[in-house]
Amino acid sequence: MIDQETIGLLMKGVNAVSWQSLVMIGVSFVLFYLAIAKDYEPLLLLPIGAGCLLANLPLSPLVADDGMLQSLYNMGVGNEMFPLLIFIGIGALTDFGPLLENPKFVLLGAAGQFGIFLTLLLALLLGFTQNEAASIGIIGAIDGPTSIYVSGILAPHMLGPITVAAYSYMSLVPIILPPVIRFLTTKEERLIRMPYSSRKISRRTRIIFPIVVIAMVGTLVPFATPLIGMLMLGNLMKESGVVERLTKASSNEIANAVTLFLGLAIGSTMVGEDFLKSSTLFILILGLLAFALDGCAGVIFAKILNWISGGKVNPIIGAAGISAFPMAARVCQRVAQEEDFENFLLMHAMGANAAGQVASVVAGGVLLALMGAGG
C-alpha cells in the first residue's frame, strides 16, 4: 500500500533540504578541496569539512540532542576542554631553548600581538559587539586553540568561521608573511647577519622555566591560566624527561584524537542559518587583516630593536613574533636565506616565535579579562 503519507515519510530527507544546507554542503566541499588538493592544514580542515557536511545533511541525526557531533561539542568544545588538551601537546613539542638563549626576543613576541588589538578596534567600528570583536581579533594570534578557546567563551555563535579562519590562515603563513616582511624592510636590513650564539641552557633552567611562567602568567593574567597552564605542563613533561610516555602520548595520540574530535565538533557548528551571514565574510577579512597587522607590528618592533642595538637585529625575525610556531620562524629563515644563503637566523627566529606562542596565549587571557568574561 503506497499512499501519500508513506511517500511523505520516505521522502522526508529530500523534502527537508533547504538552500542554506545546500550552500553549506558546498562549503564543506571547499574545505575538502583545501585540505586534500591544497594541503592546507588537512589535519583540521578535513574533519571540519566532514563535520560541516554531516551536520548540514537534512535532518542529520548526528546533530540531534544526543547525536554524536552534538555530544562531541558538549564534551569538549562547549566547556573548552579540547583546545586545552591540544595545548598540552603543543607545549610538549615547543622548544623554548632559543628563547631562553635570547630573552630579549620576548619583546618581539609581545609586539606580534598588536594586530589583535588593532583589529578589535576596527571590528568595534564595524558594529560588532565587544565580545565578537575580541573573538575576531584573536584570529590574529594565528593560533587555532587560543582562537577556539577565546571565541568559545566570548562568542560561541561565531566559533565556526573563526576556527576556519584561524586554521586556514595558519597555512597561509608562508604566503602572507614574506610580502609583509619585504614591504617593511630594506634589502640592507634583510642582509643583516645574526650569527648563532651558542649559549647552552642548563636542564635545570629548562625545567624551572615552565613552572615560573605558569606561576607568573597565572597570577598576572588569571584568564590565561588554563591555556598557559596546559602549554607549560606539556613543556615541563618534555624538559623533565621523566615522563616520556606521557609526553609522547600528549603530542601524538591524545593530540591526534582530540584534533579529530575538535574538527568534527567545530564543523558541526557551521550550519546554514548561523554561517551564511555577511558577518562571516567580515570575520574572514578582519581575521586576515589581524594576521597581517601582527606581522607588521612584529617587523616594525624588530626594526626598533635593530636601531637601538646599532644594527645587530635583522628585522625579518620580528615576523616570527606572531604565533604559528614553528612555521613563522621557518618562513623568516627562508626569507633571510633568499637574500643571503649564508645567513642562518633560524634560532633567533625560533626564539621570537616561541615568545609569540606564549604572548598570544597571554593576549587571549588579557582579552578575556578586558571583556570581563566569567565574572
Query: Would you tell me which residues interact with other proteins (CB under 8 A)?
Result: 95, 98, 195-196, 198, 326, 329-330, 333, 337, 341-342, 344, 346-347, 350
Comparison of 19 and 341: residue with beta carbon closer to other proteins: 341
Q: How far is the CB of 329 from other proteins (least distance, A)?
A: 7
Nearer to other proteins, 247 or 333 (CB): 333
- Shortest Cβ distance from residue 98 to other proteins (Å)? 8
Q: CB 239 → other proteins: shortest distance, Å?
A: 16
Q: How far is 188 from 181, CA to CA, in rounded Å?
A: 13
Residue number with CB closer to other proteins (213 or 350): 350
Output the smallest distance, CB 89 to other proteins, in A: 15
3-state helix, strand, coil in the chain (%, to 5): 80, 0, 20
Q: Which is nearer to other proteins, 267 or 326 (CB)?
A: 326
Name the residue nearer to other proteins (CB basis): 129 or 252. 252
Q: How many other CB atoms sit within 10 Å of the CB of residue 218?
A: 17
Least distance from C-beta 255 to other proteins, angstroms? 16
* 3-class secondary structure, 148: helix
Burial letters 156-167, b for 16+ CB under 10 A, else e: eebbbbbbbbbb
CA distances from 371 to 223, 320, 341 (A): 11, 27, 46
Residue number with CB closer to other proteins (190 or 303)? 190
Is residue 34 packed enough to be buried (19+ CB in 10 Å), middle (13-18) or exposed (0-12)? buried
Instruction: Specify the length of the chain in residues.
Output: 375
Q: Supply the minimum distance, in Å, between the C-beta of residue 147 and other proteins.
A: 24
CB of 326 to other proteins, least distance (A): 6
Other beta carbons less than 10 A from residue 231's beta carbon: 29
Half-sphere exposure of 74 (CA within 13 A, CB side): 10
> What CA–CA distance (Å, rounded) separates 53 from 192?
49
Q: For other proteins, which is the closer residue by CB, 140 or 326?
A: 326
